[in-house]
Structure formats: C-alpha cells, structure tokens
Amino acid sequence: MIESGRHRAAESESLLELQRVNKMRRDFVANVSHELKTPATSLKLLAESLVDVMDEDPEQARFFAGQLKSETDRLAQLITDLLDLAKLESQEEVPNPRPVDVWAVVESVMLMMRPAAERKEIELATRESESCSNRRDCVIRGDETQLNSMFSNLVDNAIKYTPPGGRVEAVCEVADGEVVIHVSDTGIGIPESKLPRIFERFYRVDKARSKETGGTGLGLSIVKHTVENHGGRISVQSRPGAGTTFSVYLPRIE
Ligand code: ADP
C-alpha cells in the first residue's frame, strides 16, 4: 500500500517534470522564432530601401548597405550562438577533456580584448593571488577552445556594460581543490531582482541597450553550460552603478 503510494508520487513527479521540459521546449521554439524573425524582417526592409534609393541617392544607399551589413552580422552571431548552445546542451560533460592551464587561457583572452577595451578607454588588468603562483595548481581537465570562448564572453560583457573610463579586472585564486577566476568591472551593474534570471536564454536586463551593443542574449547561457560541463559553477555579485563580478569555480587536477 505504502509502496504503491510512493510509486504514484514518483509517477506524478516525473509527469510534472515532463510537462516542465515540454513547456521549456515550447518557449524555446517561440523565442527562437521571434529572435530570428526580427533580424530577417529588418534585412528584407533594408534591402528594399537600398534598391529604392540606389540610382538617385548614393549617400543614402551607402547608409542602408552599412545597416544591412551590421544586421547580417547580428543574425550570423545569433545563429552561431544558438548552434553552440544546442551543442553544449546535448552534452553533459566535455568530450575528450585535456589538461588546461585556466589562468593562461584568461591571460590570452585579456590580451585579445585589449583593442576593444582601448577603443572604449577602459583599463584592463590581471592579478594572480599568492595561491595561484604555482601554475601547476591552475590546471583543470577541459576543452581549451570552450574555456577561451567562455571567458571571452565574460570579458566582452564586462567591457560592453562598463562606461568609458572604467576598469575590468580578472583575478586568479586557488582554493579547496578549485581554480577560481573572478571577472569584475566597474560598470552599470545589475539590479538584485534581475540577477536570478540573467543566465536564462534570451534574457536581457535592458533589451534596448543590449541590442545597441550587439548582444544576442545567449552569452551567459553559453557561459553557464560551459562551466557546468566542466564540473564547475558560476556565481555573480552586482551593485547597480558600481559594478559586477562573475566568479567561475572549476575543479582542478590534484
Ligand atoms: P547579451 O548578449 O545581451 O549581453 P548575455 O546573456 O551575455 O546577453 O547577458 C544577459 C544580460 O545580463 C545582458 O543583456 C545584460 O543586461 C546583463 N549583463 C551581463 N553581463 C553584465 C555585466 N558585466 N554588467 C552588467 N550587466 C551585465
């Protein structure tokens, strides 16, 4: 009797889980359709406008051609992000993990991001704590390409959401069998009520600003999945107007 009660409870729990997954899938398809339709419509309108003015107004034509290019870039970025996310979601862990010096990856990301930061007059800094001085302690098992694109996403966001004159810093620490990387900025910050949602697909705190800066709203979902596939976790702390810190914890090779 008790057993059958337990059985029924387990059955209804898995039914609820199935309903939840189905709803998530429906929402995802609806979101993707909307997100793809918007740039596709803009492309069509811009191409029509370009054809209309091509002969009489070369100045205007150049403007529409420029707009066409940036909308096409946005659409291409969206498709790349969607494919990356789908791939990460279909895997539970990193296929063929290899030893990777995480701090070396972060340092090369910071170097790569320098021109973008300089364009915005943002200072980029790296700092390793004492615990990180033996580089062998910063080695984890993972995929260097995925880790590179994950930290690029975090640093790119930090630069995007920090006004000129600000500062972005990456810090390395080693603690309790983990390598911890903090990426902090002195940017606009995120209101506390919005923090729990920022890792959701397509979620943006300020849709207009995100569109302006070319975001797809998928970056942090990709980051979270990459961290989790590496057996790690991510946390965020933020104060509007003061800045944001993302902390990535990755299990290191003992
Ligand atoms: P997006 O492509 O819009 O940047 P993300 O998934 O990377 O999408 O981030 C989701 C949202 O989280 C962003 O739209 C932005 O509102 C907020 N966000 C992410 N990183 C930061 C940051 N460093 N400072 C302030 N807000 C941020």
Evaluate: CB of 158 within 6 angstroms of ligand 1: yes
Q: Two tokens at 203?
A: 């979620």
Q: What is the pLDDT along the chain (254 residues), one digit of tens a residue?
A: 556 677 788 888 888 888 888 887 787 788 888 888 888 899 999 999 999 998 999 999 999 999 999 999 989 989 999 999 988 888 888 889 999 999 999 999 999 999 999 999 999 999 998 888 888 889 999 999 999 999 999 999 999 999 999 999 999 999 889 999 999 999 999 999 999 999 998 888 887 666 666 678 899 999 999 999 999 999 999 999 999 999 999 999 87
pTM of the model: 0.86
* Pair 78, 39: CB distance under 8 Å: yes
Residue 107 has phi, psi (to 5 degrees) of -60, -40
Atom of ligand 1 nearest to the CA of 204: 14
Residue 165 has phi, psi (to 5 degrees) of 95, -5
> What CATH class has 98-251?
alpha beta
Evaluate: CB of 157 within 6 angstroms of ligand 1: yes
> Which pLDDT score is estimated for 137?
86
Question: What's the CATH fold of domain 2-89?
Answer: Helix Hairpins (1.10.287)
Evaluate: CB of 154 within 6 angstroms of ligand 1: no
20 C-alpha vs ligand 1 centroid, how far in Å? 26
Per-residue b/e over 16-41, b at no fewer than 16 CB within 10 Å?
eeeeeeeeeeeebeeeeeebeeebee
Between CA 242 and CA 189 the distance in angstroms is 6
Amino acid at 27: D
- Domain boundaries, given as residue ranges, for the chain: 2-89, 98-251
* Pair 177, 252: CB distance under 8 Å: yes
Helix (H), strand (E) at residue 194? none
Number of Cβ atoms within 10 Å of the Cβ of 76: 11
Evaluate: CB of 143 within 6 angstroms of ligand 1: no
What torsion, rounded to 10 degrees, do the Cα atoms 34, 163, 119, 245 define? -80
Between CA 97 and CA 226 the distance in angstroms is 12
